[in-house]
Amino acid sequence: MCQSRVNSLEVPDMLPVVVVHGGAGHIPKERSEKSTEGVCSAVRAGYAVLKRGGSSMDAVVEAVAQLENNPAFNAGCGSVLNMKGEVEMDTIVMDGKTLGSGAVSAVRNIANPVCLARLVMDKTSHTCLTAEGANKFAQSMGVPEVPMESLITEYARMRWRKNLAADAKPVECQMGKMGTVGAVAVDSEGNVACATSTGGMLNKMEGRVGDTPCIGSGGYADNQTGAVSTTGHGEAIMKVTLARLILFHMEQGQSAEAASDLGLAYMKSRVEALGGVVTVDPQGHWAARFSSKQMSWAAAQKDTLHYGLYTGEHFTQSIDEPL
């Protein structure tokens, strides 16, 4: 996953760009193809928004909404279940131009939490709404509620039952199989944005909130530096504020790729945790990096689709060519 090297005269040709991830960990072979197809489809949707002149925020919301609608991922209709066998979802969006951010946590019965998080950013003076309050806000904005059953897949229910056993290890089981989703983008104006969405941790306590809706952990975007969306064990990511840590390294002159590797290495050494990130800078340099065994990711830039699943894997093809 080598970063492009260009001189300043070529930078405008690097824009726009969008990069998405479908979660870090171990993805079972029988689900890996769906995961790769899903991130490629989502990145195409986000890139189409950018090519039409849409903003980076429009693009990341569109890409993540596509992933929320895909049952192959731990977000929206593929979310994992809490101890009670129910779905509670967390999401964040952040606009690098204004540092505006919106998030929801422990929200229920919403098909696309990423769209609700954007409404929190655009329509309130707050940055995060949680649980019942988030659902009441959704109702006030005319966002329809959906039956919880529509968000629960048979795969999620099977894993929930399996991890009710006394000797189960949900954190180890969580690392992969289905993943948190996220996206970062730079539009033609050089504005960056990020979005991250998740169903959280497998068999979590009711009301548990992880890194995803926490600014600086699940995501961060700043036009002066870049944008990051993270995936992995939420409690570990929060301890090192992974997204902001990576941007700190970029502020010190590190590339998007090197900064991502430094942040992930620190999290591994300091709290013994694995994860993954997608990162961009305002010039259009990007990275998809992970310390886990796998992370499904895809990027679109200069009408080229990039994608991969394993460490060191990087396929390219025309954006219009089917997989």
Q: How far apart are CA 129 and CA 22, in angstroms?
A: 24
Q: Is 180 a catalytic residue?
A: yes
Q: How far apart are CA 86 and CA 206, in angstroms?
A: 9
Contacts 24+ apart (CB under 8 A), 143-146: 143/110, 143/115, 143/116, 143/119, 144/111, 145/109, 145/110, 146/109, 146/110, 146/111
* Strand blocks (E) in the chain: 17-25, 89-95, 100-107, 128-130, 181-186, 192-198, 219-222, 226-232, 275-280, 286-290, 294-301, 304-310, 315-318
Contact 305/44 with Cβ under 8 angstroms?
Answer: yes
Q: Which of 180, 196, 225, 230 is catalytic?
A: 180
Q: Is 44 annotated as a binding residue?
A: no
Burial class (CB in 10 A: 0-12, 13-18, 19+), 84: exposed
Q: Is 216 annotated as a binding residue?
A: no
Q: Could you identify the residue written with the tokens 């036009």? A: 223
Q: Is 210 annotated as a binding residue?
A: yes
Q: Give φ, ψ of 51 to 5 degrees.
A: -65, -25
Closest CA to 301 of 20, 34, 33: 20
Q: What is the three-class DSSP state of 211?
A: coil
Q: Is 102 annotated as a binding residue?
A: no
Which residues are known binding-site members for substrate? 208-211, 231-234
> Which sequence positions are flagged as catalytic?
180
